[in-house]
Amino acid sequence: MSIERKDPKPLAAIGFSPSAVPLLEQLQQAFDGLLIRWPHAEERPEAWLSRCWPEVSGILAIGACGMVMRLVAPLLADKHTDPALLVLDPQGRWVVPLLGGHGAGGEALARELAALLDGTAVVTGQSASQGLLALDAFGTAWGWRQGEGDWSALMVAASRQGQAGSWPVRQDCGEVRWQQLQAAQTLSCAPSPPAGEGVAPGTLAISVRRGEDCRWHPPCLWLGMGCERHTSLSLLEGLVDATLALEGLAPQAVAGLASCTRKGDEEALLALAVRRGWPLRLYSAEQLAAVAVPHPSTVVEREMGTASVAEAGALLAAAQAEADLGKAPLAIPLDRLLVPKRIARAGPQERGAATLAIALAERQWAPQRGNLHLVGSGPGALSLLTGEVRRVLAQCSVWVGYGPYLDLLEPLRRPDQLRVDGRLTEELARCAEALALAREGLTVALISSGDSGIYGMAGLALELWWALPELDRPPFEVHPGVSALQMAAARVGAPLMHDFCTISLSDRLTPWPLIERRLSAAAQADFVVALYNPRSQDRHWQLERARQLLLAHRPPTTPVLLARQLSRPGESCATYTLATLPCEAVDMVTLVLVGNSQTREQAGRLLTPRGYPLEARSCESG
């Protein structure tokens, strides 16, 4: 499966000898749009690198570190504009981020590549080597944008301090759960001082406001805008820029624009949204009219059917960002309005007039920056994780899942990744929390054991995702894992060589009469049947009833496999028959696999024949 990247610039890869070709081919399959310089290319490496350098977000070079550094040395300009440069050996065992480890995302890409290739990321920066947050890079993973300030000086000062003492961080908005990270242990967090007051030199701030210090800006500002028909784009841009500057607000903290549905075809407003990368949220006149505002206008009400577009739109968008998943905002407090309505009229060479108001949302909002990954973690052993799942787990800022499943993956979690535990019967809350975090701009792994699409979280998460307006939907992707069904079959031979089905015996979500009909139908159709959720303390009779239904249509000698704790400590696999099945020995971590009328056992192995004519084939080959 290819990896989609949100950076508008592509990645590039270069090899210098034929030994690099297999790895280049693997990278070509993994990354969409990868630009490749093959070892046999006529263009010299120096010329190819010079041509690609300003056009790509990162370069993957397969060869010796020293040779690569000499080739790119003439191209180095500035750490804020140079692409990331990673060096790999031809076998993909080592991934070394040489340049752009923080600003260009080289360290994160190295970890992602190492997970994909089953290699090792050789990360030598002080923050990474000590398991600490990189102050100039970690905010990106939390959906924030970097502001101005002397970041180089901040990093030098932080490097000198190391783990001695604590580093001051002031936060007045945005997601705060990063403070729970093990990697944040050397950071001392406190609210920001009132607007207009300075902060101590060397302080890192997380705020919607501008400042001379280094700042991360969460997307919490909503700009409500109204305008006359055919208003000039320059007028809108001038109003936005001047207001943000006058109020000391950072453009990097803008979550989006809000206006009336009648402005959904206004060319200047649409162009402003595209040019600034700000989503445009539109509300009906009825929705806007229901919002109390400090400066209603009878003129606007006669024209638009609502007394306010800018103030009402900003307040409504901020409240909607704060609302629980799929629910309308309960209240729209006026104190969210940071900047009341401002009016701008056309200057020379301009047309129209516009209004602007700015509201602050307590919850950040940036679904276009986030990702929701539905991850199947397999039966339990880390060795059974797919390369794709390893890559996704390395990429995600937050892991959400049932505690015991997360425990199995804990050796892979880094100090800069947040773990959010859920309880067994709280699947809805778990999905909602993962989706809410992804809407905030975070890359989230929602983890199920086995395969997420087989009795896992993928279906419920997709239902919640469908319920959201399109603008609120983060990218959604499902990553398969090895299912218990597959693992059980592999342990005992080939019991799934013919048609089979899976049936869950849990009647918590499915009425028992329907489960009985499915069991009877599967038995009559002679399917091999895998029974999930077979027995628990509260559901102790269903497995015996299932056994009786299956016995009605297949012989008592039918083989039955009990596979328990597959690939985990205490694993056991035992074969019985339908007549001797010990139902009392089964629990929720057991998979029950019932053969069909043709399934047979021999030498400790199970086989359901596919039906190949072995005798005829033997005669032909003889």
Does the pLDDT at position 621 exceed 50?
A: no
Structure-block tokens of residue 593: 């696999």
pLDDT digits (tens, 9 = 90+) for 485-511: 999 999 999 999 999 999 999 999 999
Average pLDDT over residues 348-358: 96
What is residue 196's predicted lDDT score, i.e. its pLDDT? 55
The dihedral over CA atoms of 402, 429, 145, 221, expressed in degrees to the nearest 10, equals -170
Computed over every residue of the chain, the mean pLDDT equals: 92
Structure-block tokens of residue 482: 């090895």
| CA distance linking residue 59 with residue 106, whole number of Å | 9
**Lowest-confidence pick of 161-165, 309-313, 605-609:** 161-165
- Written as one letter, the residue type at 418 is L
526: left (phi over 0), alpha (psi -120 to 50) or beta: left
Does the pLDDT at position 622 exceed 50?
A: no
**pLDDT tier for residue 292 given thresholds of 50, 70 and 90:** very high
**pLDDT tier for residue 80 given thresholds of 50, 70 and 90:** confident
What is residue 166's predicted lDDT score, i.e. its pLDDT? 78
Q: Could you tell me the sign of the dihedral formed by the alpha carbons of 381, 386, 387, 390, in that order?
A: negative
Nearest Cα neighbor of 336 from 366, 309, 316 is: 316
pLDDT digits (tens, 9 = 90+) for 454-473: 999 999 999 999 999 999 99
What is residue 321's predicted lDDT score, i.e. its pLDDT? 87
User: How buried is 217 (Cβ within 10 angstroms: 0-12 exposed, 13-18 middle, 19+ buried)?
Assistant: buried
pLDDT digits (tens, 9 = 90+) for 103-155: 899 999 999 999 999 999 999 887 887 888 999 999 999 999 999 888 888 88
Q: What is the DSSP string of 147-209?
A: -SS-HHHHHHHHHHHTTSS-EEEEESSS--GGGGSGGGTTEEEEPPPPTT----TT-EEESSB
What is residue 131's predicted lDDT score, i.e. its pLDDT? 85
Give SS3 for 265.
coil
pLDDT digits (tens, 9 = 90+) for 355-396: 999 999 999 999 999 999 999 999 999 999 999 999 999 999
Q: What is the DSSP string of 501-554?
A: EEEE---SSS-HHHHHHHHHHHHHTT-EEEEES---SS--SHHHHHHHHHHTTS
**pLDDT tier for residue 424 given thresholds of 50, 70 and 90:** confident
Q: Give the H or E element holding residue 237.
A: helix 233-247
Does the pLDDT at position 198 exceed 90?
A: no
| CA distance linking residue 249 with residue 243, whole number of Å | 8
| CA distance linking residue 104 with residue 82, whole number of Å | 7
Structure-block tokens of residue 280: 């445009």
Give SS3 for 600.
strand
Q: Which residues of 461-488 are buried (b: 16+ CB within 10 A; e: fewer)?
A: bbebbeeeeeebbbbbebbbbbbbbbbb
What is residue 305's predicted lDDT score, i.e. its pLDDT? 94
**pLDDT tier for residue 214 given thresholds of 50, 70 and 90:** very high
The full set of domain ranges for the chain reads 11-124, 138-217, 221-360, 371-482, 492-607
Average pLDDT over residues 566-593: 95
Question: pLDDT over 70 for what percent of the chain?
Answer: 93
What is residue 167's predicted lDDT score, i.e. its pLDDT? 84
Give SS3 for 473.
coil
pLDDT digits (tens, 9 = 90+) for 324-333: 665 666 668 8
**Lowest-confidence pick of 54-58, 221-225, 549-553, 617-621:** 617-621
Q: Which numeric CATH code is attached to 492-607?
A: 3.30.950.10
- pTM, two decimals, is 0.89
pLDDT digits (tens, 9 = 90+) for 95-114: 999 999 888 999 999 999 99
Give SS3 for 61.
strand
Give SS3 for 35.
strand
What is residue 330's predicted lDDT score, i.e. its pLDDT? 61
Q: Give the H or E element holding residue 49.
A: helix 45-52
- The CATH-assigned architecture of domain 371-482 is 3-Layer(aba) Sandwich (3.40)
What CATH topology corresponds to 11-124?
Rossmann fold (3.40.50)
- Written as one letter, the residue type at 132 is L
Structure-block tokens of residue 255: 């979550």
Q: Which numeric CATH code is attached to 221-360?
A: 3.30.420.180
What is residue 190's predicted lDDT score, i.e. its pLDDT? 76
Does the pLDDT at position 235 exceed 80?
A: yes
